[in-house]
Amino acid sequence: MKSKEEIEYEERVKKRVLILRELMKEGKISFAESMRAGLEESFSKARFDENGQPDLSTIDGRIRSIALSAEHFDHRDKMKSAISLKQTQEGYFNRIYGNFNHFYKIMIEKKVSPHQVANAIAYGKQSIDHLDEAIKPILNDLEEFWNLVAESGYLHLEDDYNSIKAVFGGDLFPSNEENIASKCGIYTDTIILPCPFIRSRHMFDVWNKQQRVYFLLKHALNILQYKELALSELDKPIVVILPDKEMMDEFAYENIAKLGEKDALYHAQKIFDRKFESINELMEFGKSLDTIEKVANEIKDRKRVLFDTEFKDSLELQIKNQMVSDTAKALRTDNPGIIVSMMGFGRMSVCNELLIKSSKVGGIPLIDAPTSWEYFKWKLEYDSERTYQNSDFTKMHIVKGLNGLDNTTLQWIGKIPPSGLIELRKNGAINEIREILSKGINELVLANEFDFKATSNEVFNNLNFAFNQHQENIKKLVNKKWKIAGKDFGSWLVMGSVEIASACLGTPLYGLSTVALNQIIDAPKLKDLPNTVEKMKETDKEKQNLKKSPLGLMFSYKK
């Protein structure tokens, strides 16, 4: 007698075979000529009963394997057909707007930031109990909503090959003081932002009432600043908000955490100049450093003990301040040794999550926070070192920072109002702009094709040439005297820096098996603007293999 598991398995196989047969009838699946003879032989032996059900004894391994792929294809197709990306975004923003439009209108009328509104209400004199009580229902509703539609949203993005996608990471959400699409909207088609409520939902259990209400309002008001960009009638959305799938799926979250552990151990090795075999060993070591003096004496590389790039106090004072910070509360300890030892875990987990997410949707990591950017660069550096342990990295420019050698300040298009971006997309002017800019951008983003054995100065000079070309191209645009959204094109220019990070050697996400890496890390890179998947496929295979290391961007300008 067959077991329940055997019966269920056979039913799944039958269903797959029927899906395959239907897709073949509809002409949705075709086979290479080299496979055709063998497949025809297999299908000639397949038998079906009077009810149309396949006789599994006549279904060989070749058909079963193809049927498995057909089931996957059918699932993707149905998930995408069930709800469009636009409908997903409408459902999300309608939820946020329905709950927080009153506060949003106040913010717009008063011309203040999400932080200012959230801070005034959360820490004001009026009662905030009604807002605190609403948090759990709101989070539960959003979680249920994303569980239903997130997969469909990701499938739409994954299958959009002819698109330049930037995946935001390194923080809960972009800064509420500026719109990240205004910075990058000329250089990308779609910016994928995380749902900050999902990204921080575990922290709502740690924060006190005032903090919970503050982040509830700040997140909501910041999200609503992107509503127009996400919902405009365009071929490609300027902004899409989706939850981190790795944050919702406990199994995926555990894998991200394991990668974070490996990187945290390596980062701690850099800090203390000693090797750690496990997180437990690192924790025990940290626990023994129960005073600031003990920790400080053990630190060998002070530059890698980075809490925030803006902190300028002595390292000892920074550690002291961290002992009473939200980070310490999240770790549930005020032990200075544990705080310093484990500081790489959360940061590196975020880097890994960002790299995986970017790879899945065929995008590039986009980081807007200077501290997160430093950890991202270290992540790429560590992957390279561990993969090529005998290489001399002193002469390899792992991270190409355009401000890294002589504080070059560049001019670029980085302060476009949302209405201007939308108008550029609708009237087609974006295509002309990109055509003019394409030369400089192409040289910039293909920087990882340069000779990696060149000195830092040689690589920098190559990049500097690319950006000088970009400056000339911007002058051409300004000279056109365009007015879009009621403003001169020149008013959108900013002075600042753009950094590129690329691991010139190495396998991303150190510690994953080769099979897993092939599944999640073979992502297309940011190419010539615009580009097509067909052109990418024409690239020499050997060069493609050399360029599988991840590339990230950070835009920063002086306000």
Domain boundary residue among 221, 242, 263?
242
Classify residue 470: in a domain, yes or no.
yes
Report which of 378, 382, 367 is spatially closest to residue 499, judged by C-alpha positions. 367
Phi-psi region of 417 (alpha: psi -120 to 50; beta: other; left: phi over 0): beta
511 domain residue, yes or no: no
- Give the Cα separation of 242 and 226 in Å (integer): 13
Residues 400 and 349 in one domain: no
Domain-embedded: residue 514: no
Q: Are 234 and 283 in contact (CB under 8 A)?
A: no
CA dihedral 192, 149, 213, 101 (to 10 degrees): 80
Does residue 517 fall inside a structural domain? no
Residue 519 lies in a domain: no
> For every one of its 559 residues, what pLDDT tens digit does the chain have, with 9 covering 90 and above?
778 787 787 788 788 877 777 777 777 776 666 777 777 777 778 888 888 888 888 888 777 777 777 776 767 777 777 789 999 999 999 999 999 999 999 999 999 999 999 999 999 989 999 999 999 999 999 999 999 899 899 888 888 777 778 888 888 898 888 788 887 777 778 999 999 999 888 889 889 999 999 999 999 999 999 999 999 999 889 999 999 876 556 667 778 888 889 999 999 999 999 999 999 999 999 999 999 999 999 999 999 999 998 999 999 999 999 998 877 777 788 999 999 999 999 899 888 888 888 878 888 788 878 888 889 888 877 877 776 666 554 433 333 333 333 344 556 666 788 888 888 888 776 666 666 555 444 444 444 433 333 333 444 454 455 556 666 766 777 777 777 667 776 777 776 655 555 443 333 444 443 333 333 333 222 232 223 333 333 433 333 333 333 345 555 555 4
Predicted pLDDT at 271: 96
Q: How far does CA 390 lie from the centroid of its chain?
A: 31
For residues 179 and 256, membership in a common domain is answered with: no
The Cα–Cα gap between 193 and 269 comes to: 33
Using DSSP's 3-state secondary structure scheme, residue 191 falls into strand
Torsion 198-200-201-202 (CA) sign = positive
The whole-angstrom separation of Cα 130 and Cα 137 is 12
In a domain, 513, yes or no: no
- Judge if 356 and 256 occupy the same domain: yes
Question: Residue 279's domain spans which residues?
Answer: 245-387
- The residue among 48, 82, 116 that closes a domain is 82
Residue 435 included in any domain: yes
From CA 191, how far away is CA 166, in angstroms rounded?
A: 5
Question: 27 and 137: one domain?
Answer: no
Number of domains the chain is built from: 4
Domain check: are 497 and 550 in the same one? yes
Residue where a domain stops, chosen among 242, 270, 301:
242
- First CA to last CA distance, the chain: 74
Cα angle: 74, vertex 54, 41; to 5 degrees: 90
Instruction: Let me know whether 446 and 478 are in one domain.
Output: yes
266 assigned to some structural domain: yes
Do 369 and 267 fall into the same domain? yes
Note the pLDDT of residue 77.
73
Extract the runs of DSSP E, i.e. beta strands, from 273-396.
364-367
The H or E element spanning position 400 is strand 399-401
Instruction: Give 241's strand partners.
Output: 193
pTM: 0.72
Based on the domain organization, do 430 and 497 belong to the same domain? Answer: yes
Q: Is residue 85 exposed (0-12), middle (13-18) or buried (19+ Cβ within 10 Å)?
A: buried
Q: Are residues 127 and 161 in the same domain?
A: yes
Residues 181 and 272 in one domain: no
Main-chain dihedrals φ then ψ at residue 301, nearest 5 degrees: -125, 95
Identify whether residues 472 and 419 lie together within a single domain: yes
Residue 504, H or E segment = none
Q: Domain check: are 89 and 71 in the same one?
A: no
Indicate the residue type of 352.
N
